[in-house]
Structure 1
């Protein structure tokens, strides 16, 4: 089992002991998503794969917040924000814009990317470095701007 998976299980036990119902629910949700992927793929996930799952869960919550706020359901948006806070405890520290830009420039130089046709190469190189540390949609936009 990976270190991140162990951290999630320990956090679940701590939340049970402290009777933190909302936190416990969110951690169980994350563990359930991890278990689902493990069952589907029939393999034990490493930290990188778990980070990808947690990143996806955070992205889903952000999408839900936008939809709830557009519909005037602030109480539901607040629940989603609380879930994001819990999930982000297990993600690495986010990168600053300067760090992201430096990584993009480095990847463009290493891949020799010159146009939008080369965007896949750049994204492929950056994704493992940025997983869980940056919004990949925003990074994609920065790469498009750099290559166009």
Structure 2
């Protein structure tokens, strides 16, 4: 606020609102439950995905200025996410998860993905990891 960085402030307010929405949604029987770090990372990851999709749609529609705004928000959000794993690191993580679960076939993919999500939330794109897991289990 002091720096008068309107774009960053706006994005931080969007992040805060998304976290508060999750807190409200998680209230059970009048009890407030705190949002965990893993949930916050999930929220931030989802926000990045939404903005990537929006930027692509804006570019296809010829609205370059709106696409640039979305990409600016992505940069701010990514400042609060852990470093993304490289392809090599992600492949090693998949192999480790397969070994840990003892997965033998494609039927065990859910177990492997569960282990990966518990350890690497916010560090990898699970949509891109799914095909890698399938390939290794096939």
Counterpart Cα distance in 2 of 1:59 and 1:26: 14
Counterpart of 1:36? 21
Q: TM-score, normalised by structure 1?
A: 0.85
Other structure's SS at 1:113 match? coil
Counterpart of 2:131? 141
Unaligned runs of 5+ in 1: 1-15
Offset at 1:72?
2.1
Q: TM-score, normalised by structure 2?
A: 0.91
Offset at 1:121?
0.5
Offset at 1:108?
0.8
Offset at 1:86?
0.1
Counterpart of 2:97? 107
1:1-148 equivalences in 2 (<5 Å): 16-42=1-27, 43-148=33-138
Offset at 1:124?
0.3
Count of aligned positions = 133
Other structure's SS at 1:132 match? coil
Unaligned runs of 5+ in 2: 28-32
Offset at 1:112?
1.8
Runs ≥4 in structure 1, deviation > 6 angstroms? Answer: none
Counterpart Cα distance in 2 of 1:47 and 1:128: 11
CA deviation profile, 1:1-43 (whole Å, cap 9, x unmatched): xxxxxxxxxxxxxxx1111111111000000000011011121
- Which structure features the higher share of helix residues? 1
